[in-house]
Amino acid sequence: MTTTPKRLTNATAIDLFCGVGGMTHGLVKEGINVAAGIDNDPTCKYAYEKNNAAKFLQADIREIKASEIKALYPKGHTRILVGCAPCQPFSGYTSKQPKGDKWSLLYSFADLIEKTQPDIVSMENVPGLLKFKRPRIFNEFTQRLKDAGYHVTHSIVYCPDYGIPQTRSRLVLFASKYGDIKLIDKTRKQGEYKTVEDTIKNLPELSDGETCPDDPLHKAAKLSPMNKRRIEATPPAGGWKDWDKDLVLKCHTKKKGKSYVSVYGRMRWDSPAPTMTTLCTGIGNGRFGHPEQDRAISLREAALFQTFPKKYAFIDPAVKFCAKAISRQIGNAVPVTLGRVVAKSIKEHLAEHNDG
């Protein structure tokens, strides 16, 4: 008779930069207990706690004490610390080295790891983090973990390879006191990727500015008359280069503007969606036009592309509905399925290093 490894049955995670709980929900779905999520955005509290059996703590990672985090872990448990420091400073949308101190959140994360000494660490971020040289941010981060006694591995994950219906690539790092953690094998190959059609085709039709009476999250932004003409003139997989000249924005006629080929674009049914962002429900922010209907994708569609289950509650009945805030929450989230990939990789690692 086999027994479940003690390190796995007694594993508890804490989620830093948790947002509305994409990573947490993935861990929970795979049977990993999550004690708490920590984020400095109080608007995330409702969705995080409503959908996960974990408490939300509003705190700045640069100010919270290691002792506070340690106290959240049950005694004797395998301690897992996960986190996704804000990725905007390192994303492809940032053409220069990160300004200000946003990138320093990564170092604050390293500080907490050194002081709390969890058994397992996972970090999710944009691949662009590997390229920034201020100076060698990622190398400094990983070296600090190695110096603290961790085995560190990292991979670039192409989300469609794991059934996530968007062309997002993410950097996933693992660190363990027990040995190297191997990312689980891909679950899909090219030609089997989940598409826009697979994900949103069966949702009720909407006009711009309309909300589905049976689903308040299935809400599309209202378009100006000019933007309505623009989306009507955009073919599937097309964009502003397909328009008549009178519809083209002046900025797109300039040298720099000509390179932004995806803005005001439509998705196509037979491919994954583009990477969801905080502004993914506006047609002027990327290829976020519905493949067929003359509107941007709805909040519900964005959540489905982020692999949140339809029952995941984002709307706090005690707070006035704010589509912009919910769009930001959804766009900032770790896809739930990616959270499950992280969880499965950790579970396989703990099973391999069973202490009986």
Written as one letter, the residue type at 63 is E
- Alpha carbons 176 and 351: distance in angstroms, whole number: 13
Give CA–CA dist 161/152, Å, rounded. 23
Query: Which residue, 15, 16, 111, 121, is CA-closest to 60?
Result: 16
Contact by Cβ (8 Å): 26, 334: yes
Active site residues: 87
Query: CA-CA distance, 312 to 254, in Å (whole number)?
Result: 43
Q: Cβ(140)–Cβ(108) under 8 Å? A: no
C-alpha 185/C-alpha 187 separation (Å) is 6
Nearest Cα residue to 337 out of 305, 315, 312, 311:
305
